[in-house]
Every structure is written in C-alpha cells, then in structure tokens.
Amino acid sequence: MVVMKPELAFGWIIPEIVITLSAVFILLLSAFRRKSDIGRLAGGVSLIGAGLALFFTCRLWNSDIDIYNGLYTIDNFGLFFKALVLVISLLVTLLSLRYVEREEMIKGEYYALLLFGILGMMIMVSSNHFVTIFIGLEVMSIAIYVLCGLLIGNPRSAEASLKYFLLGAFATAFLLYGIALIYGTTGILDVREIARYVTSGNFLITPAFMAGMALLIVGFGFKTASVPFHMWTPDVYEGAPTSITAYMATGVKAAAFGAFLRVFYTALYPFLTEWSGMLWIIAVLTMTLGNITALMQNDIKRMLAYSSIAHAGYILIAFAVGDRVFSASILFYLLVYTFMNIGAFAVVILLGRKEAPNTGIESYAGLATRHPMIALAMSIFLLSLAGVPPLAGFMGKFYVLSDAIKAGYYWLAIIGVLNSVVAVYYYLRVIMYMYFKEPEGEIGRMDPSPAYAVVIGISIWALIHMGIFPRSFLLIARESVNIFM
Amino acid sequence: MDMVFPLLSTIIFLPLGVALILILLPRKNPLLIKVFTLIWTILEFGLSLPLFFNFNEKTAGMQFMENLDWFPEFGIGYILGVDGISMLLVLLTTFLTVLCVLCSWNSITDKVKEYYASFLLLETAMLGALCALDLVLFYIFWELMLVPMYLLIGVWGGPRRIYAAIKFFLFTMVGSVLMLLAIMALYFHYGRDTGLYTFNLLELYKVSMPVMKQYWLFAAFALSFAIKVPMFPFHTWLPDAHTEAPTAGSVILAGVLLKMGTYGFLRFAIPLFPQAALAAAPLISILALIGIIYGAIMCIMQTDMKRLIAYSSVSHLGYVMLGIFAFNMQGLEGGIYQMLNHGISTGGLFLIVGMIYERRHTRMIADFGGLSKVMPRLAVFFMIITLSSIALPGTNGFVGEFLILLGAFRSNVSYGVLATSGVILGAVYMLWMFQRVMFGQITKEENRGLKDITKRETVILCAIVFFIFFMGLYSQAFFRKIDATAAGYLQNMQTKIASTHPAGPVPWR
C-alpha cells in the first residue's frame, strides 16, 4: 500500500482548510474578546473565510483527482456543490449579521457552527467513499442540531433542536445501516468500485443489498425532506432561527442531494430500474403532500417549509428519471432554488422583531402600501418559486420537466405541473395579502440593515439573470455531471 | 445578415422600458405619470403603424423577422416575426392600450404608478406572445401576461376582486402548464425524428407524427387555448374576471387577452397538428355553437351590464372558433376579422359601461332607464357600438360575422343554421339592454343629474366609432393584409395532411 504524504495533498483541500481555520479562529475570538463586539468580528471573519474558500474552490475547477487513498475526491461535481454551499454560507452570514444581534443569540458559536456545518457539507459532496460521505453528513448534522436551538429562552427553538436531533439520529442510523449492508454484500466502500463490481458479472443481487439500497433512500430522504421522511421539517423550520431555516432549506438540501446523486448515479446506477420506481412514488408523494399541506398554512415560515418539501419533489422528478446527462437539471434547480428561498427568508427576517416574529400571513397585509420595494422583492421570490417566467424558477422547472418528457415519464411530468398549479395558489395568497388587502395593525418600524438589501439584491439579480440567460449556468452544471459518464 | 432595425423587439420592449422609468417617477405627481404613460403609449402605437404600411401583402410568410440565438444547446432561439394574422392583432393591442390609458384617467386614483406600470408590462407580454415564433419564448410571454392582469383585477377591481383574480390565474395556469409539457413532447419528438432539437416554430411546422400522438398533444394545446378563448365549458372564469376588473382591464381582457386563445389555435394548435385539428373540428364546432347560444341566453338573463357584455364575449368568440374550424377561406378570414371586430366593439361597450359606472357607481340595468335624455351624446355612441356588436350591415361586425356564417354553411349546413339563430339572439339581448338603459322615462331620480360625456371620453369613443365604420365600409384595406396569409395557411394545411394521409379526408370543397 502506497502511503501518500499528507502534505502533498494540501493544495486540493485549501477551501476546507480555510473554513476550518476560520471556524476555530472564531471560537478562539469568542473566548478571548469582549462579548459586545464579537458579533461583527465573527461575522466578518466568516464572510472573509467563506469568500476565500469560494475563491479557491473556483480556482480548482476542472480538476479531477483522488487524494488520501481515494477517501477524498476533487472533481467538478463536488466543486459545484462546494461553491454552492459556500455561496449559501455567504448569504446566510450576511442575513445573520443583524439578525443575531436582534435575537440576542450567542454570537461566536453561531458563526463557528455555521462554518462547521458548511465544512460538513463540503466534505459530504466531495467524496466517492461511503465513510467520508458519512463523516461529512455527521459534521453537518451535529452543527445544525445545535444551531436550531440557539434561540435561547424560546421553547419552540429548543423543541426544533431536540426533534431534529432525535429524528436525525434515527435517519443517520438508517443511512449507516444501509452502508453496512452494501458493504456487507460487496465488500467495497468506494461508490465507483461498487459500480464496477456489480456490473462485472460475479455479483449476485441479494435481498440484503436491496435492503441496503432502500435504507440509503430513507437516510437521504430524511435529509432532503422527502415524503414520507419529512415529518420533522415543518416544526424544525418553524422553530429554528429564521436564518438557520434558510440555511437548512438550501444548504442541507443541496448537500444531501449532492451526496444522494453521487451515490445513486454511480454505485447504484446499474439498479436504476429498481430504485427509479421507488423514487417515482416518493417524488409524487413529496410534491403532492408538500403542496397540499402548504395550502393550509397561515404561517409564512411553515408555508415555506412545506414549499421546500414540494420543491424536493420536483427535484426528485429529474432524479427518478435517471438520465445521467440531464441530471444537470437537478444541479441547476438547486442553484435557482437557493436564491429564491434565501431571498424569501430574508424578507421574513426583515419583517420580524425580537418580540414579534411577524410570520403570520396577516402581517403581510397591505405591505405593498407601506413598503412597496419589499413587497415587490417578495413577489419576485414567490413568483419564482411558483415557476412564473421569466424568473429562474421557471427555467429550473422547465429543465426538470423536460427530463421527464424526454425519458417518456409523462405521468410524472403531468403530476408535476399540476402540482405547480396548486403551488401557485399559496404563493399568490401571500401576494394577495401584500397587494390586495389593507394593513391590519402596525408591524412597527423596519429594522434596516444594508446587509439585508445586499442579500435581497443579489437574489433578485440572480433570479432574473438565470431566468433570462440560463445558458452559462446550465453548461457549468453539465460539466459537473460529466463525472457520471 | 445585414443589420436592420429590430422593429418588433423595439415595439415589444418599449412598454417595459417605459414601465421601469415610470417606477422611478415621483409618486406625488399622478398627472405626470398619466401624461408620461399616455405619450409613450401613443408613440408605441405610432411605432407599430409601419408594420401595417410596410407589410408585404403578397407573401404568406413571416415578416419583420428577427432571429437570434438564445440558448443554442437546447435549440431555444429569440425568434420574432409577424404575418397577416398577428400583425393586425399587434396593432389592435397598441391601439387599445392607448384607449385604456385614457379611460383610466380619472377612475384610477389609488396606486397610480403601479397601475400604469402593470398595464405597460401587460402590453409587453401581449405583444411578445403575438410576435414570438419560438415556443419557449412564446410560453414565457404567455405566462407573463398572467401576473399584471392578476394585479390589475386584484388591486383595482371590484368587491369580489380577490376571488376573480385567483380564479383567472388558476384557470389559465392549469391549461398552460399542460401545454408546456406538450411543447416539450413535440420538441423531443421532432428532435428524435430529424436530429434537430429546436423550439423554432417554423421548423417545427414540418413535424410529422403518428395520429394518436397528435391527438394528445393537440388536446393539451387546445385545452390551454380553449380556456383562454374561453370556450364552453371552460368559460366560467370570464364573467367573474370581467365583472371585477377595472374598466381598462376589461377592455384589454376582452380586446386582446381572449384573442390570445384563438390566435393560439391559429398559430400553434392547428398548423402543428393538422390531422388532430381536423378530427377535432366537429367537437370544437359544436362546443363553439353551444358557446354562441348558451352565451346569448345567459346574456338575456343578466341584470348587470358588465356581466352581460362578458357573456356576449363567450358568444362572439364562439363565432370566431366556428369560423376558424370551418377550415375554408371564408370562415378563416371571417374568424380573423371577427377577432379584430370583437376587440373594437366589445372594448367599446366596456368603455361605455365604465363611463356610466364612473358617474353612477352601479351597473345594474334596473337602476337605469331613460339615460338618453340626460346623456344624448353618450346615447349616440352607445347605439353605434351596440349595432356594431349585433353586426348591422355597414359596421365592422357585419363583415366578420357574415363571412363566418358563410364559411360555416359551406362546411356544414346545420352549423350555419344554428349559428344564425345566435345572431338573432344577439340582437335580442343587446337591443333589449340598450332599450332598458337608454330609452323610456327616467325612472330614478339619481339619474337626472348625470353629466354627458367629457371631451376626453368623446375622443376615446370617436376612435372606436371611426374603426367601426372604417372596418365596416372599407374592409378591403384589412383583407388585403390577411388574404395571402390565410390562403397560404390553408394551403400548408392541405399539403401537410395530404403528405401524411394520401387518402385522408380533405376538409374543404
């Protein structure tokens, strides 16, 4: 066995190193500095860290190399997701700058955990090795269990944290058990090796292997919030600090889909016919249940939670179809989804107060009269979520659905589009409150911070740009999924 | 290709640009906003006139084409062009928008800036949908029409506006998402067949596909357009949307948005899937006939003027569909002409009802009577527009309706007979409504003090009446533009059906 000197590979994992160092530095800062100015310092450090990491990640584009004996892989697919989660961390950090002050959270640990979560996501998406994927997933999850409970003194937040932890532990166990079963039947932990082995001819498909596959679907289904493994989502999204909700709805989902995609499109791709049917059903359930339940929500955070479940369903359409080239549409969708969701959560944060979160839909009544620009921004995010052209949400749906049509999955596509009509109703309902109703009561003064404006501005720009000129983004996504060829 | 002035792009995106500038204007000064919008919409109308005058009448092909790559890997292009059908609808759109701005002058006092910005955005979307020759581009504009119209109904509409706005949005959306899937299915079918993956409509016209598949895809397109037209039994959103929308919203809804449905049939559903269209012709004709007669009967029973006119749209659009699906020259030309007529005369009726409503704040027929005594000038205009709507010879309505009936008789005598009975019912409900509102004694005291129409309103109605007579007496000016397109249209359809089905039925004699 060749033992590679660890320092030789340092160049490839600079982004991970930068994020780790920034997180550790923030922890040290919070131990040694006065409490009052930590918020801004820690926020600044994590912005710089994530920015640097993003820069180095982009520099690595078009590399394809295995390091640490195949435990870690740097390829375009992983780099795409790394860049995506780093963008998410930048946006979420910007959102948090003021929010953390307002809600009087523990500042140092907040930013450190945020970065550790990102680190977990980055590890999770850049490995072809089950063990590394699992470690990444755990690093991410543990950080987020804590982050959910950081609204000290708020029972809903504590509930969210505990609930996520308990159910998450179960899901992780399922995932691990699935990995164990697959390892037990093949003796391999590297997903590419598994693919090679199962197609070589000496592999006999056993119930244990199939059970392993099913358990993997359960584990990933939990992290991507797919029905029927979604039970935790609404409560956790509602109870967690809103910035963390945005972080979970975008970052966790993106990373989980990244790992999910990598495992199923390499190791388990030979069994496409087996898992495709399962995912077909999960996709339909996820979309339908997410949308129909969202119809009945009167709390924006809860509505967005169910809507994020529904969006996982749309992504699963393309996933179930199993076209390797066109799986680029999944990546594109996740990219688009990130901006529209973070944008919407930014508006939710912007309208909230320490004492009154203002997440009830009636708080949005007459918003267009009071704050026309904020109402306009929220409308853009909601219309994009609803898939109205020319915003990027439409393009995302367009490519996902065209996958299904191309492969002849007509019913899946029809169920998908009818679902998107159902979804229009609850997104429009918020717009209706903002524009058609008169204000009820006072929501008090805005809590202005240029950081919010930056996040909202970037998101709007991204949605319009990717909606009208999706080409370059989709081509990047295509280059990323080349690893499956 | 040498650079030519991108006239269509300019026409399409000018209103959008104006809307963006409008947002920056100060809210404090509504007059500035109104004048600014009016000037630009007039300029926009002026800009669209060269389409009419420089239009080559000899060719059936697309003109003023613009073709740019947008997303070549997927075969999505930025392709624009107009033929005899869409060119006239573009003009109708720019013309009606000017009138809409004028008629909203005093009636819209709340959120003035947003109102005109929505209107301009709507204009961009409508013009884009009319000119787009790429299916994705078309779909984008098609869906984009929904949002401003939703806002127009929902923000500035009547008491049940929220219900009406959401109903409008959802009905249209259901149809159009299925059309989106059909567009994709068509794209992949053509791509697999020829190796050329493209959304270019002119290219896709060459598609040949198994009849069964045609039926499915035609059904998806037809559902989307039938909801928009709206054809019986998908019409239920229309009376609500019309009744609740502000006057200008109703005008543009009746004038242009409904035409998008019939235009969609003409531009997409029929030429792409001719065999399916031919097979579906009896079904669609019968639904159109039901629409004509049912709409007319509903009109007779209405107590609200605006609702009455809304139902009359169901009836009138039934004629258009009947004409188109007669698949002969008379029916087709009549259908196209009737699309324009309906825009002018029903638009005019909505304007008149709006003027009365502004003064009296009610639209109930029972609240009026004898208005011609206090508003003699309005009565004259109202009479002319009413007569145009019931297709009196000399007005524009006559030309279109006559041709449609001729076409219907030639394709199937019983269709013709039934459609003619609708004409009689049309005269009944319109004249009866006119009589109850305008003639007789003034029964309500409140009506005595009503003021006759102002100069601004006279200008609006004069423009409408001018086109009523111009299109009624000198229809040749318009038919010259339509002839080549319509002839080429039927020719293409015939060759396409003949090429795949040598022994297949020929739709015209």
Report CA A143 to chain centroid distance, whole Å: 15
Pick the closest to residue B493 from B481, B480, B507 (CA basis): B507
- 8 Å CB contact between B296 and B426: yes
Closest to B139 (Cβ–Cβ): which among A368, A389, A420? Answer: A389
- Give whole-number Cα distances, B366 to A71, A89, B7, B304, in Å: 83, 65, 49, 9
Helix count and strand count (H, E) for chain A: 20, 2
Round to whole Å and give the CA distance between B142 and B106. 30
Question: Which residue type sits at B167?
Answer: K
The total domain count for chain B is: 1
Mean pLDDT taken over chain B: 88
Decide if A100 is inside a domain: no
CA–CA distance, B135 with B133 (Å, rounded to integer): 6
Residue A4, pLDDT above cutoff 60: no
| Distance set, CA A416 to CA A288, A361, A409 (Å) | 8, 26, 11
Domain count within chain A: 1
pLDDT tens digits along A333-346: 999 999 999 999 99
Q: Is residue B410 part of a domain?
A: yes
State which amino acid sits at residue A445.
R
Q: Which residues pair with A299 in a beta bridge?
A: A360
Name which of B9, B68, B169 to mutate to probe chain A: the one with the most chain A Cβ atoms within 10 A of its Cβ: B169
Residue B101 falls inside a structural domain: no
Does the distance separating the beta carbons of B73 and A475 come in below 8 Å? yes
Cβ distance of B165 and A406 shorter than 8 Å: no
Domain presence at residue A142? no
Q: Which residue of B has its CA nearest to A398?
A: B180
The model's pLDDT over B426-467, given as tens digits with 9 standing for 90+, comes to 889 999 998 888 888 888 888 888 888 888 889 999 999 999
CA A295 to chain B, closest CA, distance in angstroms equals: 14
- The residues pairing with B304 across neighbouring beta strands, listed in sequence order, are B364
Angle at A218 between CA A214 and CA A219, to 5 degrees: 115
Least confident interval from A364-368, B36-40, B186-190, B381-385: A364-368
User: Model confidence over B87-136: pLDDT tens digits?
Assistant: 999 999 999 999 999 888 888 888 888 889 999 999 999 999 999 999 99
Over residues B149-184, the pLDDT tens digits come to 999 998 888 888 888 988 999 898 888 888 999 999
A390 closest CB neighbour out of B140, B150, B170: B140
Task: Name the DSSP letter for residue B56.
Answer: -
The 10s digit of each residue's pLDDT in A131-178 is 999 999 999 999 999 999 888 888 888 999 999 999 999 899 999 999
* A410/B173 CB distance under 8 A: no
Q: Is B185 in contact with B229 (CB distance < 8 Å)?
A: no
| Whole-angstrom distance, CA of residue B65 vs CA of residue A119 | 52
B310-334 average pLDDT score = 91
Identity of the amino acid at B265:
F
CA distances to B256, B364, B374, B454 from B377, rounded to whole Å, are 27, 21, 9, 10
* Average pLDDT score over chain A: 89
- Residue-wise pLDDT for A394-405, tens only, equals 999 999 998 898
Q: Is residue A388 part of a domain?
A: yes
Pick B147's closest partner by Cβ from A388, A414, A474.
Answer: A388
Q: Give dist(CA A250, CA A248) in Å, integer.
A: 5
What's the domain range around A474? Answer: 273-485
Q: Is the pLDDT of residue A13 over 50?
A: yes
Selected residue of B161, B173, B215 to mutate for chain A interface (largest A Cβ count, 10 A): B173
Kindly tell me the sign of the dihedral angle through the C-alpha atoms of B206, B209, B211, B217.
Answer: negative
Is there a contact between A465 and A59 (Cβ–Cβ < 8 Å)? no
The per-residue pLDDT for range B258-270, each reduced to its tens digit, is 999 999 999 999 9
Name the one residue in this structure whose structure tokens are 């740019």: B68
Nearest CA in chain A to B160: A436
Query: Residue B68: what are its φ and ψ, rounded to 5°?
Result: -125, 150
Cα–Cα separations (whole angstroms), residue B124 to B8, B15, B142, B148 = 11, 6, 11, 10
Weakest-pLDDT range from A119-128, B344-353, B499-508: B499-508
**Contact between chains at B170 and A425 (C-beta distance less than 8 A):** yes
Q: What pLDDT sits at residue B465?
A: 92
Coil, strand or helix: which one is B76?
Answer: strand
In the predicted model, is pLDDT for residue B509 greater than 60?
Answer: no
Closest residue of A to B191, CA-based? A406
Q: Are the C-beta atoms of B92 and B152 separated by less than 8 Å?
A: no
pLDDT at B4 over 80: no
- Tell me how far apart the alpha carbons of residues A221 and A212 are, in angstroms, rounded to a whole number: 14
Model confidence at B3, pLDDT cuts 50, 70, 90, reads low
pLDDT (mean) for A351-357: 78
Residue A58: phi and psi, rounded to 5, are -65, -35
**What's the CA gap between B169 and B187, in Å, rounded?**
26
Please enumerate in sequence order all residues whose Cβ is within 8 A of that of A282, keeping only pairs 6 or more positions apart, or say none. A217, A221, A226, A227, A228, A316, A320
If you average pLDDT over residues B2-28, what whole number do you get? 85
Q: How distant is the Cα of A388 from the closest Cα of chain B, in angstroms? A: 7
Residue B501 — very low, low, confident or very high, per pLDDT cuts 50/70/90? low
Please give the torsion angle defined by the CA atoms of residues B100, B102, B108 and B114, in that order, rounded to the nearest 10 degrees.
70
ipTM over 0.90: no
Residues 6+ apart with CB under 8 A from A77: A125, A258, A262, A480, A481, A483, A484
| CA distances from residue A40 to A16, A22, A405 in whole angstroms, order as listed | 23, 14, 50
Stretch (H or E) spanning A45:
helix A38-59
Answer whether residue B434 is part of any domain. Answer: yes
Q: Which two tokens stand for residue A303?
A: 């509505």
Report pLDDT for A152: 83
Identify whether B249 is part of a domain: no
Cα–Cα dist B122/B127, whole Å: 9
The residue ranking higher by pLDDT, A8 or A77, is A77
User: Do the chains contact at A406 and B188, CB–CB below 8 Å?
Assistant: yes
Q: Do B154 and A420 touch (CB under 8 A)?
A: no
Please report whether residue A399 resides in a domain.
Answer: yes
Looking at the predicted structure, is the pLDDT value of residue A53 above 90?
yes
Residue B80: beta bridge partners? B66, B132
Residue A306 inside a domain? The answer is yes
| Residue A87 confidence (pLDDT) | 95
Query: Angle of helix A232-239 relative to helix A155-186, nearest 10 degrees?
Result: 140
The three-state secondary structure class of B132 is: strand
Q: State the DSSP code for A299.
A: B
Inter-chain contact A432–B165, Cβ cutoff 8 Å?
yes
Whole-model pTM: value is 0.91
Which residues of chain B neighbour A401 with C-beta distances below 8 Å?
Answer: 180-181, 184
- Alpha-carbon gap, residue A436 to A366, rounded angstroms: 7
CA distance B376 to B492: 51
Residues of B in contact with A425 (CB under 8 A): 166, 170
Name the one residue in this structure whose structure tokens are 């035609």. Answer: B218
Secondary structure class of B364 (helix, strand, coil): strand
User: Tokens at residue B172, please?
Assistant: 């249209």
Strand-pairing partners, residue A73, are A66
Shortest CA gap A242–chain B (Å) = 29
DSSP A211-261: HHHHHHHHHHHHHTT-TTS-THHHHHHHHS-HHHHHHIIIIIHHHHHHHHH
d(CA A438, CA A433): 8
**C-alpha A97: how far from chain center:** 21
The string of pLDDT tens digits covering residues A248-298 is 999 999 999 999 999 999 888 888 888 898 999 999 999 999 999 998 888
Query: Per residue in A414-445, pLDDT tens?
Result: 999 999 989 988 998 898 888 888 877 666 66
